Amino acid sequence: MPELPEVETVRRELEPWLTGRTIRTASRVLAPAGPKYANLERAAGQRILGVERRGKFLLLPLSKGDELVLHLGMTGILSPEKPSIHLRVELALSGPAPKTLYFKDARRFGRCLVVRAGDYASLPTLQALGPEPFDPAFTDAVFVASLARARGPIKPLLLSQRVVAGLGNIYVDEALFDVGIHPRSLANGITPDQAARLRRAAIAILERAIEHRGTTISDYRTVNGNVGGYGAELRVYANDGNPCPTCSTTIEKIVLGQRGTHFCPRCQPVPRKRRARR
């Protein structure tokens, strides 16, 4: 958290406000010097050319060939309202009010740094991202082939960002439930038909979540201070102990790849032992 729908929501709210403005000053506040805030001061004096997204990263191309890279981590919030606590970065902007963008991050897993445009050597996760789920090139065939080459359970693979960018704990649980795949299923044991349906389910869920401006479980807020509305649509995530909306079996929670994982034991049965596809 936040995942693709939340970051895309933030991007859409930031874009009309920030595009074309010049960053007058870029200051770290209660944020130590280091790679998470590297070269931040270099943004000063540069005009913001746009607000883009890659996976869960926000990318702001700047006028002198740099790029401001933002990652919200687990608790990051971008807002024109100055927070009373956990303020990490302050960007003073040209133009009419609001004239300041604040980055609040309680748990300090977020990032706000400047790199040369497209140079992500210091950001290996960003550099190694798989295809965007909405990219026309991300076809059923591409996804099927990626799973066939993979090792290990499907859920940690989807969270790795290597086969598709932007999916996180919430939307992986929901997509696997939609297709009836147990999260422990071996990725290269999933049939081509299941893989194709999983790709389509994930895309549909992401689209619906974006329409609802994402999901707020605890910290996530839009730039305008609103909560995401997709929480009411969640069927398994964070619903352990409740009845499955499809079959009324009790939703269970396990830890898989160090992440809480929610599923219906009836709709998503434990996979049979089978020889994985080569």
Catalytic residue annotation: 2-3, 56, 259
Using only C-alpha atoms, the chain has a radius of gyration, in whole angstroms, of: 20
Number of other residues whose CB lies within 10 A of the CB of residue 176: 26
| 101-133 per-residue burial string, b: 16 or more CB within 10 A, e: under 16 | bbbbbbebebbbbbbeeeebeebebbeebbbbb
Q: Interior CA angle at 168 toward 163 and 173, to 5°?
A: 100
> Is 168 in contact with 56 (CB distance < 8 Å)?
yes
Amino acid identity for residue 125 in this structure:
T
Q: In whole angstroms, what is the distance from residue 43 CA to residue 244 CA?
A: 49
Q: Tokens in use for 46?
A: 């540069």
Q: Tokens in use for 223?
A: 């730039």
> Is 69 in contact with 23 (CB distance < 8 Å)?
no
Q: Are strands 66-71 and 57-61 parallel, antiparallel or unpaired?
A: antiparallel
Q: How far is C-alpha 212 from the chain's CA centre?
A: 15
Q: In whole angstroms, what is the distance from residue 231 CA to residue 237 CA?
A: 9
